Amino acid sequence: MTKLSVNINKLATLRNSRGGNNPNLVKSALDIEQFGADGITVHPRPDERHIRYADVYDLKKVLHTEFNIEGNPTEQKFVDLVLASKPAQVTLVPDALGQLTSNHGWNTIEHQAYLKSIIAVFKNAGIRVSIFVDPIISMVEAAATTGTDRIELYTESYAQEFAAGNREKAIAPFKAAAEVAKSLGLGLNAGHDLDRFNLGYFSKEIPWLDEVSIGHALICDAIYLGLENTVQLYKRQLTH
């Protein structure tokens, strides 16, 4: 079954807005695990506006499920953090400095040489590597020659088309990209703007999906529905 990794950046944003430690990020992550999540995702950025680098070390000490750290490997500070904390998975995202949120995948053709070299750094440390990729066949094909273990399909366009009522149009490029990834032996993750309304269809149409990483929508739902109930609702969308 597809694993659910919960991105806790928004909980860190809430904590940072008032200082102090409310909500307690470590306790929240442990609770999310207990509520049924298969993993915890964090995306520390250089300005530490949500997840702080210290949070990563604190979380690594106590988490029982898979720990996934997302970020831009062109920042040496990020590379050092990942190598020091050794998560189960690192997801490489081509963010610009100060970017509000991730909004595109790697050009795996143009950046082929760089990706090969940086992916080798993490794999040599025993860390599984996933790279952010748009649902474009040529990008998936080139990703397969970088040495990455998995790709993470960037799903914003899927979410937008799905919300507009175009389910088949929404999923088509992702199914095609996922088929190519499978044929090339790549593991498959997905994330960005997935929610409890569009997740079930995505998962059903691509049943070999390894993992989804969801933060913003899940935390927003939790305000109304409760955190434990929300984690269970999202898990249920991944069961067919």
User: Residue 194 has which token pair?
Assistant: 């997935």
Neighbours of 101 (CB within 10 A): 14
Secondary structure (H, E, C), 177-237:
HHHHHHHCCCEEEEECCCCCCCHHHHHHHCCCCCEEEECHHHHHHHHHHCHHHHHHHHHHH
Looking at residue 167, its pLDDT comes to 97
Residue 106 tokens, joined? 């790697």
Q: Is 104 a catalytic residue?
A: no
pLDDT of residue 96: 59
- Alpha carbon dihedral 122, 7, 237, 135, in 10-degree steps, equals -50
- CA-CA distances (angstroms) from residue 212 to 115, 193, 219? 22, 11, 15
Amino acid (1-letter code) at residue 161: E
In order of 84, 193, 206, the CA distances from 1 in angstroms are 30, 20, 11
pLDDT in tens, 157-213: 999 999 999 999 999 999 999 999 999 999 999 999 999 999 999 999 999 999 999
Contact 100, 77 (CB under 8 A): no
Q: Which of 33, 50, 66, 70 is catalytic?
A: 70
**Of residues 43, 66, 152, 211, which has the active-site annotation?**
43
Query: Residue 207, preceding bond cis, omega within 30 degrees?
Result: no
- Residue segments in the chain with a per-residue pLDDT below the cut of 70: 95-103
Considering the candidates 50, 66, 192, 211, report the single residue annotated as catalytic.
192
In contact, 223 and 30? CB cutoff 8 Å? no
The whole-angstrom separation of Cα 22 and Cα 16 is: 8
pLDDT for 46: 86
- Amino acid 97: pLDDT: 54
The answer to whether 152 is a known catalytic residue is no
- pTM for the whole structure: 0.95
Helix (H, G, I), strand (E, B) or coil at 159: helix
Which candidate, 36, 88, 19, places its Cα nearest to that of 238? 36
**70 is annotated as an active-site residue:** yes
Which secondary structure element, helix H or strand E, spans residue 152, and what is its range?
strand 150-154
Element (H, E) at 68: strand 66-71
Taking the C-alpha atoms of residue 41 and residue 32, their distance in angstroms, rounded to an integer, is 11
